Chain A
Amino acid sequence: SAVISQKPSRDICQRGTSLTIQCQVDSQVTMMFWYRQQPGQSLTLIATANQGSEATYESGFVIDKFPISRPNLTFSTLTVSNMSPEDSSIYLCSVEIRDGYTFGSGTRLTVV
């Protein structure tokens, strides 16, 4: 099954700045998924990223706030823009494997 390398693992950022999270997969995948998990909460899908096309965003998430790049079939980035404390969360990327999904190790973001 696919292995995902996600970085950074954690960061503390000033409000108003942006952070770009990277995910590298060890095999080619059609779709990559970006999730947010607030402390003690479930996973919320932010967007689905396909190579060569615009990402598809879920209700409540917009491209200006969470721009996504998908330059090839093994890599994607998610940027959290103009951050506020409410963006403090864990961000995870995910790809489909046989019968399920595998996740990156997550990026724990704290906005101060």
Chain B
Amino acid sequence: GQQVMQIPQYQHVQEGEDFTTYCNSSTTLSNIQWYKQRPGGHPVFLIQLVKSGEVKKQKRLTFQFGEAKKNSSLHITATQTTDVGTYFCAGADRGSTLGRLYFGRGTQLTVWP
């Protein structure tokens, strides 16, 4: 069945360093979404990528969707302590109206001041 693998599981960085998390799907995705969950909080939607090769930026965050629509990455430039949390990718195997989401395991980011 559908699987979304995400690595690394944990990442510890010093403030100012960059951070990247990667997702890989066993099948071609309709779209991929990224969520951030702060400690003790609930997942919060960050962005959706739909097109092959798509790149989107949100300030220091850069999201990429692979050409084959099977992999994606989230890159944070110059991390800050406010970036702490777990970042999840979630793939949809059909159009967003009907499709279910397959969540990756998440990457827990710790930022040392």
Interface positions of A (Cβ within 8 A of B): 33, 40-45, 48, 92, 96-97, 99-106
Contacts and interface: CB of A to CB of B under 8 A. Distances in A.
Sort A-B residue pairs by CB-CB distance and give the 8 closest, nearest first. A100-B45, A99-B48, A103-B42, A43-B103, A42-B103, A106-B42, A42-B105, A100-B33
Contact of A48 (B45, B47, B100): B100
Contact of B48 (A43, A100, A103): A100
B91 interface: no
B104 interface: yes
Interface of B: 33, 35, 41-45, 47-48, 88, 90, 96-97, 100-101, 103-106, 108
Contacts of A105: 41-42
B71 to A, nearest CB: 17
Contacts, number: 44
B45 A43 contact: no
29 contacts: A33-B100, A41-B105, A41-B106, A42-B88, A42-B105, A42-B106, A43-B43, A43-B90, A43-B103, A45-B100, A45-B101, A48-B100, A92-B42, A96-B96, A97-B45, A99-B33, A99-B47, A99-B48, A99-B96, A100-B35, A100-B47, A100-B96, A101-B33, A101-B45, A101-B101, A103-B42, A103-B44, A105-B42, A106-B42
A32 B103 CA distance: 17
Q: Which of A40, A44, A100 has the most CB of B within 10 A?
A: A100
Contacts of B96: 96, 99-100
A40 B37 CA distance: 11
A41 B105 CA distance: 6
Nearest to B50: A99
A103 B45 CA distance: 9
Contacts of A41: 105-106
A42 B42 contact: no
B88 A43 contact: yes
A65 B101 CA distance: 22
